[in-house]
Copies of this chain bind each other. A is one copy, B any other.
Amino acid sequence: MTKTASADDLQKIASLIEDIEVAMLTSDDGGHLRSRPMVAAQDGFSGELFFFTHSSAPKVDEVRADSRVNVSYADAHHQNYVSLSGTASVERDPALVRAHWSEAMRTWFPKGVQDPDIAILKVVVQEAEYWDAPSSTMIHLYGYIKAVTTGTPPHPGGNEKLQLA
C-alpha cells in the first residue's frame, strides 16, 4: 500500500540515509542493470539526492540514455534498508557544484570546483520504500527461532511504501 510521504516520512528517510551513508546507485546501461557505491553530498533529505561525479564517467552516459535509477541503502547490522526510485540528471551549474562541495571531494577532484570534469548527478526521488527494525529488538533476517515458535515473521519495524512526486 503506497501512501503520500509526509514531513515525518522524509525525516525518517533522512535519518536512515544519514546513518548508512554509502548508497548503491543502480542504472540501466542499455543491456544490464549496474550498481556502484556512492555517497550523497548533502545534509538531510527532502526528495532529492546530489552525487558528485566525473562528467566522463560511464554512469553519466547511462543516465543520459535512460534517466531512471534506484538508490538503495542497506545496513545489515541494524536491519535498515531503503529503496529510492527516481530519475537522474547531470548538472554542471557552478552554483550547484559549489553548494554541495566539501573538501572531502578533493580526493576525486584535486582541482576542486574548477575541475573541468566535475558534475553533479541529481536524483529526483519519486518513490521510496523502507524496512526498519526497532533498534531495541535486534533481530536477524534469518533469526527465525522466535518466528517459528510464535508464527510471526520477524518484522516488527514494518515496511513503508511512499510516494514523493
Contacts and interface: CB of A to CB of B under 8 A. Distances in A.
A24 B24 contact: yes
B151 A39 contact: no
A147 interface: yes
A69 interface: yes
Given A37-B131, A144-B103, A153-B108, A126 B24 contact: no
A68 B141 CA distance: 25
A106 B74 contact: no
A81 interface: yes
Contacts of A86: 32
B32 A68 contact: yes
B81 A36 contact: yes
A110 B150 CA distance: 11
Interface of A: 20-22, 24, 26-28, 32-37, 39, 68-70, 72, 74-77, 81, 83, 85-86, 103-108, 110, 126-127, 129, 131, 141-142, 144, 147-148, 151, 153-154
